[in-house]
Chain A
Amino acid sequence: MKKLALIVIVLIVALVAPLFAQGSAEAASTGFAPSKDIDWIVTSSPGGGSDIYTRIISDIMTRLDVVAGQTFLVANKTDGGGEVGRLQVSRVNAGNLANHTLLTFNSGDLMPMVKNTANRLANFTPIAVMAVDKQLLYIGEYSKYKNFNAVLDAVAAGKQVVIAGSKGDDIATYEKMIGELGVNQNQIAFITNDSTSAAITSILGGHVDLVMSKPAAADQYVVAGKLTPVLALSKARFTGNLASAPTLSEVGDYDDVEVPVWRGVVGPKNMTAEAAAFWSDAFQAVSESNAWKDEYINKYKLVPEFRNYMEAQVYMAEFEADYLKSLGK
């Protein structure tokens, strides 16, 4: 009985709380330049990838002095796996607050949001896409298979192959890949880990056959010879020490599989077009700065790929539509 009451209370508060959590509306501004502190919401914990990305950008923006001397207040809202923070941003009322609210938004945020909640991209104003990332499959040092063809042969011979990877976009990439290969989830199985580093741990220990990772997370293991790339999940080969990995079309009679993992920024739906244009320019200035290349792109081995607010709108919407289709929604 007590538990039922508990559940009911949680439900009520969960429904009511967001109503209180927002600020109030006030007069809309004409033209746009930041006139107050900027709230920047990140839906993952401090120290994580999205958090670093946000803090580096806000830091560069302050240094470039493109925000009229205003301060960024970065807030980590991790409740509900980040869904609470996203919902709050999507519901900010029109007005000054809406124009001063930003949300770090990546493909890895969009997928669980669309999959598990009713919140959609349409409730946000896309501002920019800053960079993209792609996946590769790697084998470990003492792997049973030496290249991807050997993996496919083993599958054809009835053996089960296990891939370890992370959440979100890794799963989407995996599903697209087995779809293209025409095998089922038992022939090539996938283990979802909390993070790529956990997935790499399991292949270093020899517990799985393949690991899926983005270039940055696996880089030093490749340099140390502990991991070897065997398949590029991209439309073209990677460069540098990853150049040896063929794309899927080179391996056999398949199309290339690619699920671009992007890092972007959005604002609330009620952000004005002027404000969105202003922010888009500000992000463009960051993406063209040397600081961005040195402190982020090169360090985390991403592909710089800036899209302004209009291009980002199209790009993100397309991504969402594709993903919804793959979910059958």
Chain B
Amino acid sequence: MSSVEQKDRKFGVKQYIPIAMIGISIAFIWMGFAKYGFWEDMKGPRPGFFPVIISFALLVASLLALVFSFKEKAPSWPLENWLVPLSVVVIMGTTFIIGLLPSVGLYVLVWLRWFEKCAWKTTITVFLIIMGIVIGAFVLWLGVPFPKGLILNLIAN
């Protein structure tokens, strides 16, 4: 994804969506017929029946969407936005090592203090509130067993 404004009538993400859908529909149609079966006499529809019909409809809709997409304005893709998904990827990664709760805690601190440049007071307040909700409600009350990560598991066992 590029952050540069794309001009109309140029190939971009808005075309990739219908193209990806065309791909999916063809794959689902093929798998539906080949692997799961469409219709059997007397028994009626098989597992592939419904998805195959739907895939045909998706195929038609995607082709139309592709044609129309050239008339649409291309959206902008601010690079900054991708920091949010990126931080979730980092959280997922560190969860396996230090556990989920420390990961989200660290993320809140780092994000607010070093990315948003908030004052320590704001950072700590938000940190305490969010950790209070997560630990108080999800961990203590509802007993959700969050993963502890490799390190803690090593120590605990």
Contacts of A21 in B (CB 8 A): 147
CA distance A95 to B16 in the complex (A): 50
CB distance from A94 to the nearest CB of B (A): 13
Q: Which residues of B line the A interface, CB within 8 A?
A: 16-17, 19-21, 23-24, 42-43, 96, 145, 147, 150, 153-154, 156-157
CA distance A189 to B40 in the complex (A): 13
Contacts of B43 in A (CB 8 A): 185-186, 189
Contact with B along A1-15 (1 / 0, CB 8 A): 111100000000000
Are B157 and A2 in contact, with the CB atoms below 8 A? no
Are A4 and B42 in contact, with the CB atoms below 8 A? no
- List 23 contacting pairs A-B, 8 Å CB cutoff, sorted by A: A1-B16, A1-B20, A1-B23, A2-B17, A2-B20, A3-B21, A3-B23, A3-B24, A4-B23, A20-B96, A20-B150, A21-B147, A23-B156, A23-B157, A24-B150, A24-B153, A24-B154, A26-B157, A73-B145, A95-B157, A186-B42, A186-B43, A189-B43
Are A2 and B42 in contact, with the CB atoms below 8 A? no
Contacts of A20 in B (CB 8 A): 96, 150
Grouping DSSP codes into helix (H, G, I), strand (E, B) and loop, the A interface class, with mixed when no group exceeds half, is mixed
CB distance from B54 to the nearest CB of A (A): 15
Contacts of A4 in B (CB 8 A): 20, 23
CB-CB nearest in chain A for B21: A3
Give the one of B19, B156, B157 with max A CB within 10 A.
B157
CA distance A95 to B157 in the complex (A): 10
Contacts of B42 in A (CB 8 A): 186
Contacts of A75 in B (CB 8 A): 145
Cβ-based interface call for A96 (8 A): yes
CA distance A1 to B23 in the complex (A): 8
Cβ-based interface call for A137 (8 A): no
CB-CB nearest in chain B for A189: B43
Contacts of B156 in A (CB 8 A): 23
CB distance from B154 to the nearest CB of A (A): 5
Cβ-based interface call for A97 (8 A): yes
Given contacts A185-B43, A186-B42, A186-B43, A96 and B157 within 8 Å (CB-CB):
yes
Contact with B along A195-210 (1 / 0, CB 8 A): 0000000000000000
